[in-house]
């Protein structure tokens, strides 16, 4: 089902075609929400720009548009305001009919994509040499939410975890394992490292302080690159152990990923570089092979290339990322590829995208997009660190989220008194993880955000706790009314009469449009903003002074209609939260 705004846009577009012929199909109807509800729900100033084509003043053009419009079932008679603005007020009867159509729809009116696409979302992507830390949280959470929304829209999504599993750091790790855990050489599958970070720090310390160890570590890199079976066996074991740590986090966050390391592309790198050379796209410069794309320059104003092979014959991120996008287009058949990384990598990916297009791998039908995110800051507005200035491990962060959630909820003793200890434990687990996710996703992706526990766990405002409470509250209304929402008939007449009912109905029907926006623009905060608006509209609806009676209203038809509005609110919030990877609670 299309949102009221979308349907209004289509009606205005049809009127424009009637007035302008085929040229009218290219005119944006410019339907926007009104800033002041006294002037209706939507407004358009399209008449202002049609003066030359249609002649007359903007008000006269607006009048001709109204005459050509067919919106009697959708809105009241459009009004002309000011120099030629068109104001539209959606009819309550139309809102009711639309809600009646979706009351039995699990998708709440959100349509599947007319042309499903093969989409690759590249996200999380930790280096396997270390445990996941707070720096990985944004890519993981944002990428998962975008993948969920695209999957909900019916697209075929490949969730790729482009892990760093190759290069110099692995030389020192392999050598460290050889010298400190020699049993691994005989039984590599038995490798277990409880504290991966400490192991890396110790190996790095030896590498920096012991020249002889550094020589042996560099030799281990050569062994690895040459395919030495002993080095490869240790490397595989270390990668497996690193991924075990990572997937413990992914399981907690309910994130699904397909691991594909940089090493996956290693066999094709020489051939890809040779192809670029033979086609004259790459050239040798100071012993390195460089691929010059676009007009990129360095700080000195000199041309900045993608370096696809270093002067020592090695490869780097430029090479593997080019190979990655090439594989995703030619082998995976993706027509939309989305990279979710730190915003500071934007130039790198813009250059890779230009390179893929210059090489002819990415045609006009392929969309290459970089979702760059800002930093996680502490309350001092500096990069988020532990108290002693160290990196915050992601596992420790999530553990603290659950602990703080339990402590915070225990402070609300009145609400928690009727719950069992098992229920409290479940609530703390769900709220803790939800708070971390929601706080991240409720901010504009490209902006930095401040990690503040009190704000994240608050039961008021645009927070996970507030949204989870709103869902639990609507479910409790059903229990008070002695009704299981799922057992209500799916053909109930919906009555939309009171101002608060009208406001809630309008907001409920925005859901399909919001999901479509997130899928197109890759901005999850549009969904959290919508959820907050919906929860506020529901609070007004259920408020005794500003809203209506629900459980104890005497007219049974009105009672059932209002209970259905409660149900639709709960289902919309629950579906929205699921698109963000957040579970809901029946009680809270």
Cα separation of 405 and 17, whole Å?
56
| Contact criterion met (CB below 8 Å) for 159 and 256 | yes
Choices 3.40.50.150, 2.30.40.10, 3.40.50.620, 3.40.50.1820: CATH for 118-161+267-376 = 3.40.50.620
The residues that bridge with 285 in the sheet, in sequence order, are 288
Report the C-alpha gap between 121 and 367 in whole angstroms.
12
The CA–CA distances, whole Å, from 549 to 499, 539, 568 equal 13, 12, 17
- The per-residue DSSP string of 67-118 comes to HH---TTTBSPPEEETTTEEEE-B-HHHHHHHHHHHTT-TTTTPPPPSS--E
Beta bridge partners of 88: 42
What is the radius of gyration, based on Cα positions, of the chain?
A: 29
Q: Is 356 helix (H, G, I), strand (E, B) or coil?
A: helix
Q: Are 436 and 398 in contact (CB under 8 A)?
A: yes
Which long-range CB contacts under 8 A does 328-333 form with residues at least 24 apart?
Answer: 328/120, 328/158, 328/160, 329/356, 329/361, 329/362, 329/366, 330/361, 332/118, 332/120, 332/158, 333/118
What is the domain partition of the chain in residue ranges?
Answer: 4-90, 118-161+267-376, 168-259, 394-579
Which contacts (CB < 8 Å, 24+ apart) does range 312-316 have? 315/266, 315/269
The CATH code that applies to domain 394-579 is 1.10.730.10
The tens place of each residue's pLDDT in the chain, 588 residues long, gives 888 999 999 999 999 999 999 888 999 999 999 988 888 999 999 999 888 888 889 999 999 999 999 999 999 999 999 899 999 999 999 999 999 999 999 999 999 999 999 999 999 999 887 888 888 999 999 999 999 999 999 999 999 999 999 877 888 988 998 898 888 888 888 778 777 778 888 899 999 999 999 999 988 888 887 888 888 988 888 898 889 989 999 999 999 999 999 999 999 999 999 999 999 999 998 899 999 998 899 888 889 999 999 888 888 899 999 999 999 999 999 999 999 999 999 999 999 999 999 999 999 999 999 999 999 998 888 888 766 666 788 999 999 999 999 888 788 766 677 788 888 899 999 999 999 999 999 999 999 999 999 899 988 899 999 999 999 999 999 999 999 999 999 999 999 999 999 999 999 999 999 999 999 999 999 999 999 999 999 999 999 899 999 999 999 999 999 999 999 999 999 999 999 999 998 877
Instruction: Give the CA-trace dihedral at 511, 515, 521, 524, to 10 degrees.
Output: 90
Long-range Cβ contact pairs of 344-349 (< 8 A, separation 24 or more)? 344/372, 345/370, 345/372, 346/370, 346/372, 347/296, 348/317, 348/318, 348/321, 349/321
| Domain 4-90 is found in CATH 3.20.20.70 | no
Q: What's residue 389's pLDDT?
A: 62
């Amino acid at each position: 089902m299309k949102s009221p705004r979308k349907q209004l846009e289509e009606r205005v577009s049809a009127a424009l075609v009637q007035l302008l012929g085929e040229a009218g199909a290219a005119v944006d109807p410019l339907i926007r929400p009104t800033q002041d509800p006294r002037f209706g729900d939507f407004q358009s100033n399209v008449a202002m720009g049609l003066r030359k084509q249609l002649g007359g003043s903007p008000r006269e053009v607006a009048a001709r548009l109204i005459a050509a419009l067919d919106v009697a079932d959708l809105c009241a008679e459009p009004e002309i305001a000011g120099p030629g603005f068109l104001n539209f007020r959606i009819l309550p009867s139309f809102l009711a009919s639309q809600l009646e159509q979706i009351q039995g729809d699990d998708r709440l009116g959100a349509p599947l994509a007319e042309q499903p696409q093969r989409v690759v979302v590249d996200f999380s992507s930790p280096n396997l040499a270390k445990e996941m830390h707070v720096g990985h949280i944004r890519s993981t959470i944002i990428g998962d939410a975008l993948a969920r929304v695209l999957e909900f829209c019916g697209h075929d999504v490949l969730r790729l975890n482009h892990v760093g599993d190759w290069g110099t750091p692995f030389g020192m790790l392999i050598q460290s394992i050889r010298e400190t855990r020699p049993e691994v050489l005989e039984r590599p599958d038995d490798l277990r490292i409880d504290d991966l970070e400490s192991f890396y720090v110790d190996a790095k310390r030896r590498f920096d302080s012991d020249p002889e160890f550094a020589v042996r570590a560099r030799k281990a890199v050569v062994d690895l690159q040459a395919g030495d079976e002993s080095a490869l066996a240790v490397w595989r074991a270390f990668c497996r152990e690193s991924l075990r740590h990572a997937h413990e986090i992914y399981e907690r966050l309910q994130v699904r990923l397909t691991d594909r390391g940089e090493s996956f592309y290693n066999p094709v790198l020489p051939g890809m570089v040779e192809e670029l050379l033979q086609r004259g796209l790459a050239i040798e410069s100071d012993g390195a092979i460089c691929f010059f794309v676009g007009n990129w320059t360095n700080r000195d104003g000199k041309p900045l290339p993608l370096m696809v092979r270093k002067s020592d014959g090695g490869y780097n991120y430029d090479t593997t990322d080019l190979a990655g996008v090439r594989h995703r287009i030619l082998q995976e058949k993706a027509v939309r590829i989305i990279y979710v990384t730190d915003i500071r990598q934007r130039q790198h990916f813009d250059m890779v995208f230009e390179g893929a297009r210059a090489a002819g791998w990415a045609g006009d039908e392929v969309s290459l997009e970089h979702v760059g995110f800002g930093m996680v800051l502490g309350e001092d507005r500096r990069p988020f660190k532990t108290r002693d200035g160290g990196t915050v491990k992601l596992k420790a962060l999530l553990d603290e989220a659950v602990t703080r959630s339990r402590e915070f909820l225990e402070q609300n003793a009145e609400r928690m008194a009727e719950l069992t200890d098992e229920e409290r434990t479940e609530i703390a687990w769900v709220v803790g993880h939800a708070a971390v996710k929601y706080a991240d996703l409720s901010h504009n992706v490209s902006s930095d955000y401040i990690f503040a526990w009190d704000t994240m766990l608050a039961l008021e405002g645009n927070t996970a706790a507030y949204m989870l409470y709103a869902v639990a509250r609507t479910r409790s209304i059903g229990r008070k009314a002695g009704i299981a929402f799922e057992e209500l008939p799916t053909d109930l007449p919906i009555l939309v009469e009171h101002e608060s009912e009208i406001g809630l109905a309008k907001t409920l029907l925005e859901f399909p449009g919001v999901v479509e926006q997130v899928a197109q623009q890759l901005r999850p905060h549009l969904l959290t903003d919508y959820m907050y608006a919906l929860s506020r509209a529901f609070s007004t609806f259920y408020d005794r002074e500003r809203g209506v009676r629900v459980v104890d209203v005497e007219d049974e038809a009105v009672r059932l209609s209002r209970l259905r509005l409660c149900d639709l609110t709960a289902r919309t919030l629950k579906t929205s939260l699921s698109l963000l990877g957040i579970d809901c609670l029946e009680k809270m």
